[in-house]
Homo-oligomer: A and B are copies of this chain.
Amino acid sequence: MLVAGASGYTGALAARLVDRHPRFALSAVTSRSDAGRSLTELYPHHRVDAVLEELDVDRHADVDAAIVAYPHGASAPVVAALREHGVRVVDLSADFRLRDRDTYAAWYGEHGAPDLFGCAVYGLSELYAEMLPDADLVANPGCFPIATLLALAPLARAGAIADVVVDVKSGVSGAGRAATPRTHFVTVDENVVAYAVAGHRHAPEVDQELAVLGAPVTATVQPHLLPIDQGELVSCYVTTTRAWEQAELDAAYEAWAGAHPFLEISAAPPGVRDVRDTNICALHVRADARTGKVLVFSAIDNLWKGSASQAIQNLNLMFGYDETLGIEPR
A→B interface (CB under 8 Å): 9, 20, 41, 44-45, 47, 163, 165, 167, 169, 172-173, 177, 179-181, 183-195, 197-199, 203, 218-220, 222, 224, 226-231, 233, 235, 237, 239, 266-267, 269-278, 282, 284, 286-291, 293, 295, 297, 329-330
Selected from B20, B276, B295, the residue in CB contact (under 8 A) with A222 is B295
With a CB–CB cut-off of 8 A, which chain B residues contact A218? 290-291
Given contacts A286-B198, A290-B203, contact A169 B224 (CB under 8 A): yes
The answer to whether B185 touches A273, judged by C-beta atoms less than 8 angstroms apart, is no
The answer to whether B271 touches A191, judged by C-beta atoms less than 8 angstroms apart, is yes
The answer to whether A179 touches B177, judged by C-beta atoms less than 8 angstroms apart, is no
With a CB–CB cut-off of 8 A, which chain B residues contact A165? 165, 167, 237, 293
Q: Give bound CA distance, A115 to B250, whole Å.
A: 44
Selected from B184, B224, B266, B288, the residue in CB contact (under 8 A) with A185 is B184
Selected from B194, B227, B274, the residue in CB contact (under 8 A) with A44 is B274
Give the residue name and chain of the B residue nearest to A40 (CB). Answer: B267
The answer to whether B290 touches A189, judged by C-beta atoms less than 8 angstroms apart, is no
The answer to whether A233 touches B286, judged by C-beta atoms less than 8 angstroms apart, is no
Given contacts A190-B231, A222-B237, 12 further A-B contacts (CB under 8 A): A44-B273, A165-B167, A167-B235, A177-B181, A183-B185, A189-B228, A197-B297, A199-B288, A203-B290, A218-B291, A220-B295, A277-B277
With a CB–CB cut-off of 8 A, which chain B residues contact A198? 286-291, 295
With a CB–CB cut-off of 8 A, which chain B residues contact A226? 169, 192, 226-227
Selected from B179, B228, B239, the residue in CB contact (under 8 A) with A184 is B179
With a CB–CB cut-off of 8 A, which chain B residues contact A44? 266, 270-271, 273-274, 282
Selected from B180, B193, B197, B269, the residue in CB contact (under 8 A) with A195 is B269
Given contacts A172-B186, A273-B45, contact A222 B235 (CB under 8 A): yes
Q: Give bound CA distance, A194 to B227, whole Å.
A: 16
Give the residue name and chain of the B residue nearest to A189 (CB). Answer: B229
